[in-house]
Structure 1
Amino acid sequence: MKKLLLSASLLAFIACSTSKSATNDTDANVDYAEKFAASITDKDLAKHLFIYAGDEFEGRNTGEPGQKKAAEYLKNFYVQQGIASPLGGDDYFQPVPAEFLNARKRRVPLKASENVVAFIKGSEKPDEIVVISAHLDHEGIKNGQIYNGADDDGSGTVAILEIAEAFQKAVKAGKGPKRSVLFLHVTGEEKGLLGSRYYVENPIFPIANTVCDLNIDMVGRVDDRHKDNPNFVYLIGSDKLSTDLHNISEAVNTKYTKIDLDYKYNDENDPNRFYYRSDHYNFAKYNVPIIFYFNGTHADYHKPSDTPDKINYPMLQQRARLVFHTAWEVANRDARLVVDKPVEVKK
């Protein structure tokens, strides 16, 4: 009888162990990057953008009431998602002082603006920071017309919101990133990359601890060059400082998003010099590896006609997912990105 009971117990133990093993095997087979990326949808992007690039925010001119409303919208989103501020408490604003903006020697001084920051702490390497950035400002109101800036850069801004939500879903599922992720919405880009310059000169986290900056500036439209094939995005700067970052970007796109990566504007001889014209460049100057995601210019660029009804939301979804996958891989890989092509730091 004792032997029978022992056998029964042994069988139960084996069954339990097998069940646990099967569960673990199933868990191991889940592609969490794909699972959480799927939460980034064209519907949610459109919902955000029709608000963010709506008339209520008055073109989001640096320091003006519309830009303040936009900043509050971003803060409220992060609060609702339970995504913390790196500044502590409910303070999601990094002030950019008026004297830093009057220092640009403008005929009309700019008004006391702010970067909006949110933060997910890494589970294993919290001191290493992956930055995802986009500028929150635009051109404001000119001659009574509102410059809504849906593509420039409402598209990048709402992409960050969806990417942040995807990372937060991972945290809630117990699968948060190994490295920390900083969601950085910078002000004053249209005035000369001012918010990002202020951040790198007054970083919340040391620049030496910043693993990379993935910068999203205009990813909601299709330019004339790709009108017959809208499944594209321009990548600029991915190979300038780190071969690792470039290879990761290519690999995750091949595996997940399958977008045509166009490097036309990555050419050093390109007369547009886009590499030097968005917020990533302030990070690159300090040898922080960067990628600049861009859809090219179009007829509505810097015009009141850059409105949310003209955005290609399925492509915005795919481009945002590409950024998420790249950030996910960089944040979770064992080794930090190697800067194998450093430049002389110029302050």
Structure 2
Amino acid sequence: MGMSVTEHSYQVPMHHVNAEPSLRICIQGFGGNSACEGPFAVGTQIIQFQHRVDYVIQGFSGFSEYTFQDDVQVADVGNGTDDALWAAAAGSIGYVRSGANVGGNTGIFSKAAENNLAGLIFVNKHANCGQIEANDCVPIFKTSRIDEVQDANGGTVPSELPFIAMSKDAGEILEQAIFNATGTTGVLEMLMDVTNDQERTIYVPCGEIRGKSSEVVIVGGHHDTVYHGQGAVDDTSGTASVLEIGRQLSQIVNETGKPERTLRFCTWGGEEEGLYGSRAYVSAFQNSLKDDLRLYLNLDMSHVDADTANRGNSVTLIGNHPDDMDHLARITELYRNERSDVADRYDIQLRTLDGDDPDSNGMPDNSDHAPFVYDLGDERGRAVICYGSGSWEYHTYADTMERFNEESLGVSVTIYGTYMRFLAYSDS
């Protein structure tokens, strides 16, 4: 029996980095009288920040072409909680330090739009400090809920409001050159060739093994990554797992015969910007999924770092229906007994989150399972997810294959693949 393949495509809001950005500071020589560049740049110092390592463009950032000659001011907005500082920063590039609950990227991006800022820099002072680079806190990519930012901007996307995240070390260099200068105050150049107010095409390829009934079990993971990194763990690990489950179940079906339920294997585009692929797919197939979805299995960062001694070894299996979790508990126990050579190296945990929403003991809404759970109408869709551990490099330039622990993927692939096989041939 063969697997049929369908590629779905959707037009969705998406920002796009068109060219390599530039972020520099000019400290003019001769008491600020020298030029920044050219033959008259005598005694001038240029500080060049490295894209990806020192700073990262944030989701739905706007365009900017601020040169040294524009002399756009940088305003210290503290930790982003003081409305007076935001108001005073109008027309300037706001500089925000991490450490306060300001609603994440969406919150500060909205504040910047509301107060007519010329740009936004968010410096990481707290997350993963010293874990990836010694003594530094590297910049992390995050997206923004662009509909909320658009509302804050009077109904339009702030297409000329650039937004970057900066490392702690790079931020301290900027602070010294601009806020705490003992001599000439530095001038910032910020060139960001980004389009954030147009739609782009994303793709959702799905393989399907048709069953005797229309009831369907779907396993998925997202194939897109943050723009500035390889995305080895987030989420090449999940995509590879989906493909492996599909390969093994195809072989089983060829040997065993047509399953009772239809099996579907999908990978999602647009997850990092807002779950766009899975949301569009669920919206497009809303009626059939309401009637026929038996279970959705999500594999996003189910990987465990090889350095389990320092980073932990947990694999957490989470679902929102007790029947599914009872089955998974039995399969997990069987896995521990039959594959103790692997299972003993990992702390396999199971959790049931059966609340109505993420704030009330419900499933989190941070990955592609969320549309299958929350977007199918009044009743919650059934889903299971898997989280690994130790991925400090998440959403940074350092999420590469160098730390890839292939063995750890076998935990979720075996347990979830076994459950998917059970559902394929069970008529209950």
| TM-score (normalised: structure 2) | 0.50
Q: Secondary structure at the match of 2:393?
A: coil
> Whole-Å Cα distance in 2 between the matches of residues 100 and 129 of structure 1?
30
Shift of 1:166: 0.5
Contact 2:233–2:391, Cα closer than 8 Å, also in 1: no
RMSD: 3.3
**For 1:307 and 1:265, how far apart are their aligned partners in 2?**
32
Answering whether residue 423 of structure 2 is matched by residue 330 of structure 1, we say yes
Q: Report the 3-state secondary structure (helix = DSSP H, G, I; strand = E; otherwise coil) of the residue aligned with 2:3.
A: coil
Q: Tell me which amino acid in the other structure corresponds to 2:411.
A: Q
Matched, 1:121 2:210: yes
- 1:256 lines up with 2:335 in the alignment: yes
Contact 1:137 1:189 in 2 (8 A): yes
The answer to which structure, 1 or 2, has the higher relative contact order (CA under 8 A, 6+ apart) is: 1
Higher Cα radius of gyration: 2
Aligned partners of 1:128 and 1:180 also within 8 Å:
yes
1:317 equivalent among 379, 403, 410:
410
Shift of 1:140: 1.8
SS of the equivalent of 2:364 reads helix
Q: Is the 8 A contact 2:303 2:389 kept in 1?
A: no
Report the CA distance between 1:173 and its aligned residue. 1.1
Q: CA deviation at 1:290?
A: 0.5
Judge conservation of contact 2:269–2:277 (CA < 8 Å) in 1.
yes
1:173 equivalenced with 2:255 (yes/no): yes
- Whether 1:182 aligns to 2:264 is yes
- Give the Cα separation in 2 of the matches to 1:153 and 1:139: 9
Pair 100,311 (structure 1): closer, same or farther in 2 beyond 3 Å: closer
- The 1:229–1:156 alpha-carbon spacing in structure 2 relative to 1, beyond 3 Å, is same
CA deviation profile, 1:242-285 (whole Å, cap 9, x unmatched): 21111111111111356543257959798999711111111111
1:112 aligns with 2:201: yes
Residue aligned with 1:97, SS: strand
Letter in 1 for 2:282: V
- Which string of whole-angstrom CA distances, capped at 9 and with x for unpartnered residues, describes residues 123-174 of structure 1? x33x000010101111123xxxxx1001000000000101000011012213
SS at match of 2:219: strand
Are the structure 2 counterparts of residues 270 and 224 from structure 1 closer, same or farther at C-alpha, using a change threshold of 3 Å? Answer: farther
Shifted more, 316-325 versus 170-179: the winner is 170-179
Distance 2:273 2:386 in 1: 20
Q: Give the partner amino acid of 1:115.
A: V
Question: Which deviations, in whole Å up to 9, do the C-alpha atoms of 1:188-224 show, x marking residues without a partner?
Answer: 1101111111111101871120101000000222398
Determine what percentage of the aligned residue pairs are the same residue. 24
Give ranges in structure 1 of 5+ residues lacking alignment. 1-80, 86-91, 142-146, 336-347
Query: Does residue 1:83 correspond to 2:3, yes or no?
Result: yes
Question: How many residue pairs were aligned?
Answer: 238
Question: What do residues 292-323 of structure 1 show as CA deviations (whole Å, max 9, x unaligned)?
Answer: 11114632110111112311111112221111
| Cα distance in structure 2, aligned partners of 1:177 and 1:256 | 23
SS in 2 for 1:250: helix
Q: Which residue of 1 aligns with 2:392?
A: 299
Distance, in Å, in 2 between the alignment partners of 1:227 and 1:266 is 28
1:209 equivalenced with 2:295 (yes/no): no
Gaps of 5+ in 2: 16-59, 61-145, 151-156, 160-195, 338-342
CA shift, 1:112, in A, is 1.6
Pick the aligned partner of 2:10 from 82, 91, 96: 96
Alpha-carbon distance in structure 1 between the residues aligned to 2:389 and 2:238: 13
User: Equivalents in 2 of 1:140, 1:113: separation in Å?
Assistant: 14
Which residues of 2 match residues 5-44 of structure 1 at below 5 A?
none
Residues in 2 aligned to 1:117 and 1:205: alpha-carbon distance in whole angstroms: 18
CA distance in 1: counterparts of 2:280 and 2:311, whole angstroms: 40
- TM-score, normalisation: structure 1: 0.61
Letter in structure 1 aligned against 2:295: C
| One-letter amino acid of the counterpart of residue 163, structure 1 | I
CA contact (8 A) 2:305 2:403 kept: no
Change (3 A) 1:189 1:98: closer
Indicate conservation of the 8 Å contact 1:222/1:312, yes or no: yes
What letter is aligned with 2:227?
A: G
Cα pair 2:11 2:199 within 8 Å, conserved: no
Structure 1 Cα separation of the partners of residues 400 and 295 of structure 2:
31
Give the distance between the partners of 2:254 and 2:232, measured in 1 at CA.
31
Aligned counterparts of 1:98 and 1:189: Cα–Cα separation in 2: 11
Q: Is 206-215 or 216-225 further displaced after alignment?
A: 216-225
User: Matched residues in 1 for 2:307 and 2:322: separation?
Assistant: 30
**In structure 1, how many angstroms separate the alpha carbons of the residues matched to 2:409 and 2:335?**
15
- SS of equivalent to 2:381: coil
| In 2: Cα distance, 1:205 partner to 1:271 partner | 27
